[in-house]
Amino acid sequence: MWLSSRGAIAIVLLLIAPLLPAPPGGIQATAGVEAFSAWDSLHYEKIAADGYPGIGAEEGYLLAFFPLFTLLIRLIASLGLSVQMAGILVNNLAFLGAILIFYRWIEERHDLRTARWATAALAWHPFSLFTTVIYSEGLFLLWSAAALRAFDAKQYSRVSLWGALATATRPTGVALIPAFLFAAWKERRPPVAYIASLAASGGLLLFALYCWIHVGNPLAFVEAQRSWRPTSGFDWQGWWKILMQVAIGQANVSKGFLSDPWHPLLMVLVAAMGYGLWRFRDRLGATKVGSAVCVLILLLWLLGGDPLINLISIFGSGYLLWYLRGQLANIAVVYGFCGLGLILASGSTISLARIAYGILPISYALGFLLARAPRWGYCTLGFFGVLLISLAVRFAQHLWAG
C-alpha cells in the first residue's frame, strides 16, 4: 500500500503534471525535486538550512513550525544530499514506518482484514499526499502511531519516548497528553501511566526551553501561531462561511448575493434524491441504492469542493469515532476527540482536512468500518485515488491543496 500509493503520487508529480499547461494562478509543473516542494515546504527548507530566526527578526513566524522534522532534514542533508531531497526521504521513510506500526497495532487489536483496510485507508487517503512531499505529516504519524500502540500495550517507557518525539514534531502532538491522561484515568491504570503521559510533553518542553534561550520567550512558538491563526477558540465566522459555501456556492458567497442560482438548486435536488433513496431503499434494492449513492457522492464533491471535504473531515470523523466508540481501542477514541477538539479550538478553518488526516484514529475508524463493508471499501478507495491524483496535480502547480 505504501509503495503503490507513493508510486502513484510520484508519477503524477513527475510525469503527468509537467505535461499539463500552467493553470490560472498556478505555475508550470516541473519534473524534478521541486515538484515535491510548495507552500509550507519552503518554510521547512529554510529552517533546515538556516535555523530559526533570532530575536526581533521579521521571520519570527517560523517558530510555529516544530523542530524535529527540520532537525532530521539537516542531519540527512549533512551526508551530502540537498535539503529538498533530504526532506523527501525523511517524510516518505517515516510514513513507511508509520504504516508498518499502524498495521501491527490494528492486527494485534482486531484481525488481519481490519489491519489491511485500515492501512489502505491511511495510505490512499487524499491527504496522504503530504506524507510524500516536504511536510512533517509522515514523521508525525510515525511517532503518534508508536505512542498509541505503546500506550495500548502498557509499555510506558515507550509512551514517554514516542510521545515526546511526537510533541517535538507538530503542535497537534499536544493532544496526545490529555488523551493519555484521560485514558489512564478511565482504565484505572497505575501511577506510572500518568507519569508516562506527562513525560510525553518532553518534546514540547524542550522546544519551549530552546525558545527561551534563543529569543528570550519560552512561549514564542505560541505567539508565532498568531501569524497563521490570528484568533483563538472556535472560529464561528469561518465555519459559517464554509457552510454557506457548501449550501449556496463559493461564487455566491464571494459576491455577497445570489448571482448563481443553480448551485443552491442543485444542492436541494441532491438532498431530495438522497431522501428518496433512503425512503424507498427497500423497494429499490441494495445494488441500485449503492450505485445511486456513489453518483450522489460524486455530485456532492463536484458541487461542494474543498469546503465540503473540510466539513466532512472534521464533523464526519467525529461522528464516525462516536459511532464506533465501543469497538475501537479506547485510547484511539479519546485521542481522536482530543485532536478534533484541538482543531476546532485553533481559531482557524485553514487546512482542516490535512490536519485531521494527521489524527491517526480517523483512518483506524474508517478502516474498521470498510472492513465490514468491503464493497463500499473498494468504492471509497477508488474515490480516494481520484482525489489524491487531483491534489497531487494541484500541489505540483502550486495551487492550494490543503
Range of the domain at 15: 2-396
Q: How far is CA 95 from CA 98, 212, 358, 382, in A?
A: 5, 32, 11, 21
DSSP 51-114: -S--TT-TTGGGGGS-SHHHHHHHHHHTTT--HHHHHHHHHHHHHHHHHHHHHHHHHHHS-HHH
| Cα–Cα distance, 206 to 201 (Å, whole number) | 9
**pTM value > 0.85:** yes
Q: What's the angle, vertex CA 233, arms to CA 59 and CA 39, rounded to 5?
A: 35
Task: Return the SS3 of 169.
Answer: coil
Q: How far is CA 311 from the centre of its chain?
A: 13
Task: Return the SS3 of 233.
Answer: strand
| Cα–Cα distance, 368 to 42 (Å, whole number) | 36
Tally of domains in the chain: 1
Residue 106 domain-assigned (yes or no): yes
| Cα–Cα distance, 185 to 347 (Å, whole number) | 29
| Cα–Cα distance, 27 to 221 (Å, whole number) | 32
Residue 401 domain-assigned (yes or no): no
Q: How far is CA 287 from CA 161, 282, 369, 372, in A?
A: 49, 11, 19, 17
Residue 145 domain-assigned (yes or no): yes
Q: How far is CA 235 from the centre of its chain?
A: 19
pLDDT in tens, the chain (402 residues): 999 999 999 999 999 999 999 999 999 999 999 999 999 999 999 999 999 988 767 788 899 999 999 999 999 999 999 999 999 999 999 999 999 999 999 999 999 999 999 999 999 999 999 999 999 999 999 999 999 999 999 999 999 999 999 999 999 999 999 999 999 999 999 999 999 999 999 999 999 999 999 999 999 998 888 777 767 788 888 899 999 999 998 888 888 877 888 889 999 998 898 889 888 888 888 777 777 887 888 888 888 888 999 999 999 999 999 999 999 999 999 999 999 999 999 888 888 999 999 999 999 999 999 999 998 899 899 999 999 999 999 999 999 876
**Residue (of 400, 398, 393, 369) closest to 14 by Cα position:** 393
Residue 341 domain-assigned (yes or no): yes
CB–CB of 319/313 below 8 Å?
no
Residue 24 domain-assigned (yes or no): yes
Residue 164 domain-assigned (yes or no): yes
Q: How far is CA 58 from CA 53, 120, 213, 224, 283, in A?
A: 8, 42, 18, 11, 65
**Residue (of 145, 92, 195, 57) closest to 364 by Cα position:** 145
